[in-house]
Amino acid sequence: MPAALPRRLLGELLGTMLLVTAVVGSGIMATRLSPDDVGLQLLENSTATVFALAVLILILGPVSGAHFNPVVTVAAWWSDRHDPAGLPARDIAPYLAAQTLGAIAGSVLANAMFGVAQGLSATVRDKPQLWLGEVVATAGLVLLVFALVRTGRAALAAPAVGAYIGAAYWFTSSTSFANPAVTVGRAFTDTFAGITPTSVPGYIGAQVLGALIGVGLVAALFPAVRATRDDIDVRAGRPIEELTVGERR
């Protein structure tokens, strides 16, 4: 049997919280260590995020699937809506709530650790080129995750997703938020990683569009869902050995 819903929600809340703590905390540390070099600040911030994300996926994948991202959760449900082992539709709203609350808590925790005053961000990110960056970043993330699942390589999710997000920090204009919950959470810190609340809707809209493009690319490139023999089913956090023979087909 899959993990009970409360345990999966705790996994999503904890994972998203620690992810945002890593993003925000490393951003604060970067500005303190390298106050006059924005490029070095971004390198420090992205490196910490890559490692933290990979580790969190490894730790919490067996519990909740390690989505930490509303667009991944919704895409997982859509991709596996006919699969008995997939994420049930009734779990979507609780997952999204846990991820969003976790993201906010992550910013609050990072602020507290570094002695930063709690409050909303004043960093405006509302240019069209930034929205385009979010479309590209989110489409690529969704394509990556579900390409791995549909080709039986879900065990590579931790290093692959970490590597993609790390690269997207640098090749997208927006530095790759690619996550509506994380975007909301980052509005609660007036630091290097922050985003003003008025900029959040534009980013989330771009992320939703990117997710739709990503799902379309997955359907076009990998139309057949193949059962995986990986230890962890990243779609629903269900150990493959617990699936029945019929469910594995």
| Torsion, CA 191, CA 199, CA 98, CA 243, rounded to 10 | -110
Whether the pLDDT of residue 249 is over 80: the answer is: no
**How many other CB atoms sit within 10 Å of the CB of residue 3?**
18
Q: What pLDDT shows up at residue 231? A: 42
What is the arithmetic mean of pLDDT over 206-218?
A: 97
Whether the pLDDT of residue 248 is over 60: the answer is: no
Nearest alpha carbon to residue 73 among 200, 225, 237, 227: 237
Give CA separation, 198 vs 96, 123, 212, in Å: 21, 10, 23
SS3 196: coil
Q: Are 230 and 160 in contact (CB under 8 A)?
A: no
Q: Rounded to the nearest 10 degrees, what angle do helices 157-171 and 38-64 cross at?
A: 150
Output 223 or 19, whichever has higher pLDDT: 19
Q: What pLDDT shows up at residue 148? A: 96
Domain ranges of the chain: 5-248
Written as one letter, the residue type at 48 is A
Q: What pLDDT shows up at residue 224? A: 67
Whether the pLDDT of residue 245 is over 80: the answer is: no
Q: What pLDDT shows up at residue 237? A: 54
Quickly state the pLDDT bin for 239 (edges 50, 70, 90). very low
Q: What pLDDT shows up at residue 72? A: 97
CA triplet 10, 11, 13: central angle to 5 degrees?
65
pTM attached to this predicted model:
0.87
**CA contacts within 13 A on the Cβ side of 204:** 18
Q: What pLDDT shows up at residue 3? A: 85
Most distant CA atoms of the chain, gap in Å: 59
CA triplet 112, 20, 57: central angle to 5 degrees?
135
Give pLDDT tens digits for 176-208: 999 999 999 999 999 999 999 999 999 999 999
Give pLDDT tens digits for 66-107: 999 999 999 999 988 878 778 899 999 999 999 999 999 999
Give a three-class secondary structure readout of 89-156: HHHHHHHHHHHHHHHHHHHHHHHHHCCCCCCCCCCCCCCHHHHHHHHHHHHHHHHHHHHHHHCCCHHH
Q: What pLDDT shows up at residue 80? A: 82
Give the integer Cα–Cα distance in Å for 220 and 32: 46
Whether the pLDDT of residue 22 is over 90: the answer is: yes
Give the integer Cα–Cα distance in Å for 186 and 189: 6
Give the integer Cα–Cα distance in Å for 130 and 37: 21
**Contacts of 99 by beta carbon, 8 Å cutoff, 6+ apart:** 12, 13, 16, 67, 68, 69, 70, 73, 181
Give pLDDT tens digits for 121-176: 999 999 999 999 999 999 999 999 999 999 999 999 999 999 999 999 999 999 99
Give CA separation, 67 vs 158, 166, 213, in Å: 11, 17, 18
Give pLDDT tens digits for 28-63: 999 999 999 999 999 999 999 999 999 999 999 999
What is the arithmetic mean of pLDDT over 9-18?
A: 98
Q: What pLDDT shows up at residue 84? A: 79
Q: Average per-residue pLDDT in the chain? A: 91
CATH 1.20.1080.10 fits 5-248, yes or no: yes
